[in-house]
Amino acid sequence: MPRSSHPSTAAELSVYPPLANSAATEPETGSVDFGSLTLRYVIERRSRRTLALNVLPDGRLLVAAPEDATSAAIADSVRKRAPWVVRQWEAQRRQAVAQPRHYRSGEMHYYLGRQYRLRVEAGPAAVRLVGRRLLVTVADPTNTARVGQLVKQWYREQAQRHLPREFAAVLARLPATLLPPGPELRLRLLTMPSRWGSCAAATRTILLHPDLVKTPRHCIEYVVCHELAHLLIRRHNQAFYALQTRLMPDWPHWQQRLAELESLLETSAGLVSPSPA
C-alpha cells in the first residue's frame, strides 16, 4: 500500500504555497499535476548539467535546473519525481503531528479514536477513564517514567480486551464462503516496528499492532479486513482491493483516518510508514 495512494493526504498537501515573492524580480515557477495534487515549485537556474529537487523544511519545493533547461523538461522531471516529493511532504507532516509523550498532566492521549486528557494525581497505582480524562494515580505524580509505565500497561490491557473482540466481530459478519476453508483463524497482538497489521497465511494467523486500540473501531476493522483479504491474495493487486471492498465497502475513509493517526504508534520512527502490510 504505497503512501502516495492516500487521497486525503494528497488533498491536504496541495495547500503548500509557492514562494512568496517579496523580491522585485518574480521567481520562475512551475506546477505539475500528480493525481489529485498540484505540485508547485520554484526554479533556480544554475550553471549545472543536471536537475535537482529539494524539499525545504517549510514544505516548499525548489528545483535547481541547468540554465538552458526548458520549462517542459523541468515539469517532466518534477512529474517523474513526484512520488518522492510526496513522500518528503508526508514525512514532514508526520513529524509535525508526532507528539513526544512526556506523561504529564494535560497531555492528550487516544483511546478508540477519542482524545482523553491525561491527569496525574497522587494515590495507589491505577489508570482509568473518567469522563474525557485518562486519570492516573501514582505514589509520586512527578515520576513520569512510572506514569508512562502504567499508561503503557493500561493500553496493553485495553488492546487485549478490544482487539480480539473486533476481530471476532468482523469474522462473525463475513460470509463463511469468502475465506479459504481450514482451521480456525488465530489472532496475535504484536508490536511491529512499521505496520499496523500482518497476515501469516500459512498458519492462518492475523497479527495486529496493540496500538490499534488507540484508533477508531472502524480503523481496527479496516486493518482486520485488509489482513483477512491477504489470506486469499498476497499482493496488493486489483483483485485484492476488490476483495477488500467486499469485506468493507468504505475502507478508503478508514485507511485515510488511520494514516492521519499513524503517529500514535509508539514504535513508529523516522520515515517508516506504518500501514497494514
| Binding footprint of Zn ion on the chain (CB under 5 A) | 276
Q: How far is the CB of 245 from Zn ion (least distance, A)?
A: 14
Outline where the chain has alpha helix (H). Answer: 7-13, 71-80, 82-97, 144-173, 217-232, 238-247, 251-260
Q: How far is the CB of 4 from Zn ion (least distance, A)?
A: 16
Q: How far is the CB of 145 from Zn ion (least distance, A)?
A: 36
Neighbouring CB atoms inside 10 A of 224's CB total: 27
Q: How far, in whole angstroms, is CA 248 from its chain's centroid? A: 19
| Closer residue to Zn ion (CB): 5 or 14 | 5
| Closer residue to Zn ion (CB): 30 or 276 | 276
| Closer residue to Zn ion (CB): 210 or 276 | 276
**Are residues 163 and 189 in contact, defined by beta-carbon separation less than 8 angstroms?**
yes
CB-nearest residue to Zn ion: 276
DSSP state of 210: G
| Closer residue to Zn ion (CB): 17 or 249 | 249
Q: How far is the CB of 277 from Zn ion (least distance, A)?
A: 5
Handedness of CA 149, 154, 159, 160 (dihedral sign): positive
